[in-house]
Chains A and B, each alone.
Chain A
Amino acid sequence: LAKTTQPISMDSYEGQEVNITCSHNNIATNDYITWYQQFPSQGPRFIIQGYKTKVTNEVASLFIPADRKSSTLSLPRVSLSDTAVYYCLVGDMERGGADGLTFGKGTHLIIQP
């Protein structure tokens, strides 16, 4: 499994755009990238998933450069409620089967007024 590295914590302010970068230097050809959000004492929540280039949904954007050795989760105009832990995960889409997610050390994002 490709190991991921994220900043331990980040601070920002309401209304700002927040970019969280995840490094996955040994990502394999069949690997895809997924981001989850977790609030204290709640289950993780899917944010976005991608394989290459850019993916956008109603919540966030995911930027993946051509070499795929990193990815950046972009949260536009954050609010206090975006304070949470954000996890970057890399999974093998060719392996098949209902594989469990491997959570590494996520990024504690703190949004201030």
Chain B
Amino acid sequence: AAGVIQSPRHLIKEKRETATLKCYPIPRHDTVYWYQQGPGQDPQFLISFYEKMQSDKGSIPDRFSAQQFSDYHSELNMSSLELGDSALYFCASSFGGSSTDTQYFGPGTRLTVL
């Protein structure tokens, strides 16, 4: 079965640069979530979108923004990168926009900020 696709899988950036992470949800899924997981840390929720509208907001820094497009894919834009932004970024998708829907996670994008 098709899974969540994230690109790129690995990304290396310098401090103060920008980065864009992409997420392609499972076909027919209408909801996308973004999570950040630092080294040795537990996943932290950043933001979610349902039917292209922001649904819930977590600990997303002001330097980050995200959106969901008409084809339901989502992009996480990160500016003024800091060393502390180095982490695994997971995208998850679900269908239905409900808090009880099962979230299916992608393989993640490993961002390294030098």
Contacts and interface: CB of A to CB of B under 8 A. Distances in A.
Interface of A: 32, 38, 41-46, 49, 87, 91-93, 95-106
8 contacts: A41-B88, A42-B107, A43-B107, A46-B102, A96-B98, A97-B56, A98-B33, A99-B55
Interface string B10-49: 0000000000000000000001010100000011111111
Contacts, number: 78
Given A43-B92, A102-B45, A106-B42, A97 B103 contact: no
Contacts of B106: 43
Nearest to A104: B42
A43 B99 contact: no
B42 A100 contact: no
Given A43-B92, A43-B108, A87-B42, A101 B103 contact: yes
Given A32-B100, A91-B100, A98 B49 contact: yes
